[in-house]
Structure 1
Amino acid sequence: MALHLSADAPASVAAAPQKYLFGPFIDFFMLGGSALVILPVLYFVPLRYEAALTLTMFLLSHLINQPHFGHSYQIFYRNFARKVRGEGYGRSLQIRYILAGIVVPLAMAAFFAYGSLTGNARLLGNATNAMGFFVGWHYVKQGYGMLMVDAVLKRRFFSDQDKKVLLFNGYAVWLFAWLQTNVVITERQFWGLEYYTFAVPPWLITIAMSIAAASSAAAAVMFINRWRRHGGALPYNGVVAYVVSLYAWILFVTLNPLWLLVVPALHSLQYLAVVWRYQTNVERDRADAVEKPALKALSILGPVYRLRVLAFIVVGAILGALGFWLVPMALADLIPYDKAVFGSSLFLFIAWIFINVHHYFLDNVMWRRGNPEVSKYLFR
């Protein structure tokens, strides 16, 4: 979720009332502030509790994580035929929708089909490396996007130069973190399929670390200068989202095994804050939004638009369960394959890689500047 928004606004605009997605505390908690509380606590958990806590974090992570993937499909493929035809969308955005919505999934399906049919487990294993690459990139862009969203809501816009500093720092930190996971050639497994990291030369790690440190310092100086120029005013929730995404969720996440379990849930919570607000505005825009539900038993939930938002959330949870668990497990029972080569979880492997990688491409289209739906519904 990377929104490239306008430059600094005039003083009259900057003085406008500040807005929130849901409220100051909820925004802080969902956009990244929860990590400042949860991750330190997990770091000091006694070893005797780690097994039970690991299971709890694993279940909680999927309870939050899977619906956020489902929501991206709900939003992206809504009125997809109109998007493909370019009705109300610019030519560039139309092409992006076609590539991300049709070309990319077909290309990935062909890759997995070829690797499976030819018995090439090594080739399929390389997809895990690709997932790690794109997931880190996605975290960076979403953290940056959250900062831009909060900047618009608070009327504290960033200049083009400031945004370049933020983006460069994000990519530098992510690249250094990703290279660190490939210091030596190591055999690992993901859902029973082996894959290999590769050996990055030490001098390249040193260069990447130096660039990441310098860009982090530049970003810190930029934030301080803006704080001084604007009388101590910053889009603080967005700043927290940006800093947490880069450093707590990417650069230092390997400091504690429990962090690796909970970070996907925190990242998804960040995403859900924006998506739920966006969908609420979509439903409020309908002509019958404030009418009472037809069933009196449902009237306790309020206007009909709230029921529709709730239905959206439930459908997202169902899609997540289907995509990550139910469909791949059913395919494993229905479609024979060489378990001696691929193990017993081939379709779980394919589903998890496919959804994680495709999610990056979907978000890269949906939340772009110039998307009429984002402009209409996200900042209301």
Structure 2
Amino acid sequence: MALDLSVDVSAPKAATPGKYLFGPVTDFLMLGGSALLILPVLFLVPLEYEGLVAATMVVVAYLVNYPHFAHSYQIFYRNFARKVSGNGYDRSLQLRYVFAGIVVPLVMGAFFAYGAATANTRLLGYAANAMFFFVGWHYVKQGYGMLMVDAVLKRKFFDDRDKKVLLVNSYVVWILAWLLTNTAVTKGKYYGLEYYTFAAPSWIAHIALLAAVASTAAAVLMLINRWRRNGGALPYNGIVAYVASLYLWILIARINPLWLLVVPALHSLQYLAVVWRYQTNVERDSQDAARDPQPKILSPLGPLYRLRVLGFIVGGAALGYLGFWLIPFVLTALIPYDRQVLGSSLFFFIVLIFINVHHYFLDNVMWRRGNPEVSRYLFR
């Protein structure tokens, strides 16, 4: 999932000084601050408890991770006919909705159908490579997007040159992290299917390291300069999100095996902070938002809009379970294929990669600059 929320500094007039998604502490924890608290603790976990902690983290990651994917589908395909017809959307955005919402899933569906029908493990392995490559791009773009969101809400804007410094640093750190995991050909398994990393020359990784040090230094100097211009103020929660996404979740993700299990949940939690605020504002815009829910037994939940937001969250959890567990389970039971070659988890492999990759395309359309729904429902 990649948030592209680099809005124009003149766009979000609805935001007010000191605005938060939910509150200073909640924003800090959800946008990335929790990583600063959890990572040190993981190094103190005794060896005999690592298995229990790992199992717990996997469950937590799934509880948070699945809904975060599902929410992108709920938002993207809502009023989809209006979006692809161009009703209220410019031509460029309309075509992006068509491409991400129709063309991409058809192409991926054909790719996986051919790979499964021909039992082509090498071809299917390329899909795993692609997912792992783009996940870094997705993480750093989301971290950058979170910084831009917080900057808009706090009215502490970055100019175009500042944004370029931040973006260049994001991409350089991403490439460095990818190269560090691809300095030699290694074989891995993902849901029973083998894939291979690439043997990138070590000298390229060294150059990338120097570039990352330089770009990080440039970003730090830019932030210091911006802090001075702002009279000693910055969108601090956004900076925490940016730092966590680039350095804690990508560059040093493999510093601890348990940390590698925690990172997806923290990344998803960051995304949920934006989505839940966005959906809350959507529901608040309805004419009957302040009305008491019916029946009366639901009144402790508050106004009707809160009940609808809760329904959105529960629906995301159900949709996540449907997509990641029930659908691949049914497909595995009903569709025959060469299990000796492709293993017993083929459809879990396909669905997981399909949703991950498609999620990147959906987010790149939904949260981009120029989408009228972003400025209307998020920046206030």
Q: Normalising by the residue count of structure 2, what TM-score does the alignment of the two structures yield?
A: 0.97
Count of residues in Structure 1 that have an aligned counterpart in Structure 2: 376
- Aligned mates of 1:174, 1:17 — CA distance in 2: 32
Contact 2:9 2:152 in 1 (8 A): no
What is residue 200 of structure 1 aligned with on the other side?
A: 200
Gaps of 5+ in 2: none
How many angstroms does 1:231 deviate by?
2.0
How many angstroms does 1:229 deviate by?
2.1
Contact 1:69 1:320 in 2 (8 A): yes
Which SS does the other structure have where 1:213 is aligned?
helix
- Aligned mates of 1:182, 1:17 — CA distance in 2: 44
Contact 2:67 2:317 in 1 (8 A): yes
For 1:6, give the aligned amino acid.
Answer: D
Which SS does the other structure have where 1:194 is aligned?
strand
The superposition leaves residues 152-192 of structure 1 with CA deviations (integer Å, 9 ceiling, x where unpaired) of 00000000000000000000000110111111111100000
For 2:309, give the aligned amino acid.
Answer: V
How many angstroms does 1:351 deviate by?
0.5
What is residue 379 of structure 1 aligned with on the other side?
A: 379
What is residue 61 of structure 1 aligned with on the other side?
A: 61
Percent identical: 71
The superposition leaves residues 117-158 of structure 1 with CA deviations (integer Å, 9 ceiling, x where unpaired) of 111011101111100111111101100000000000000000
What is residue 237 of structure 2 aligned with on the other side?
A: 237
- Aligned mates of 2:320, 2:16 — CA distance in 1: 39
What is residue 330 of structure 1 aligned with on the other side?
A: 330
How many angstroms does 1:363 deviate by?
0.3
- Aligned mates of 2:210, 2:190 — CA distance in 1: 31
What is residue 342 of structure 1 aligned with on the other side?
A: 342
What is residue 102 of structure 2 aligned with on the other side?
A: 102
For 1:43, give the aligned amino acid.
Answer: F
Contact 1:61 1:261 in 2 (8 A): yes
What is residue 277 of structure 1 aligned with on the other side?
A: 277
For 1:189, give the aligned amino acid.
Answer: K
Which SS does the other structure have where 1:275 is aligned?
helix
Which SS does the other structure have where 1:220 is aligned?
helix
- Aligned mates of 1:113, 1:137 — CA distance in 2: 26
- RMSD over equivalenced CA pairs, Å: 1.2
- Aligned mates of 1:61, 1:203 — CA distance in 2: 36
Aligned pairs for 1:107-186 (under 5 A) are 107-186=107-186
- Aligned mates of 2:42, 2:294 — CA distance in 1: 46
Which SS does the other structure have where 1:189 is aligned?
strand
For 1:366, give the aligned amino acid.
Answer: M
Contact 2:70 2:320 in 1 (8 A): yes
Contact 1:143 1:246 in 2 (8 A): yes
What is residue 20 of structure 2 aligned with on the other side?
A: 20
How many angstroms does 1:7 deviate by?
4.1
How many angstroms does 1:86 deviate by?
0.6
- Aligned mates of 1:229, 1:281 — CA distance in 2: 32
How many angstroms does 1:6 deviate by?
2.1
What is residue 227 of structure 1 aligned with on the other side?
A: 227
For 2:253, give the aligned amino acid.
Answer: V
Q: Normalising by the residue count of structure 1, what TM-score does the alignment of the two structures yield?
A: 0.97
For 1:78, give the aligned amino acid.
Answer: R
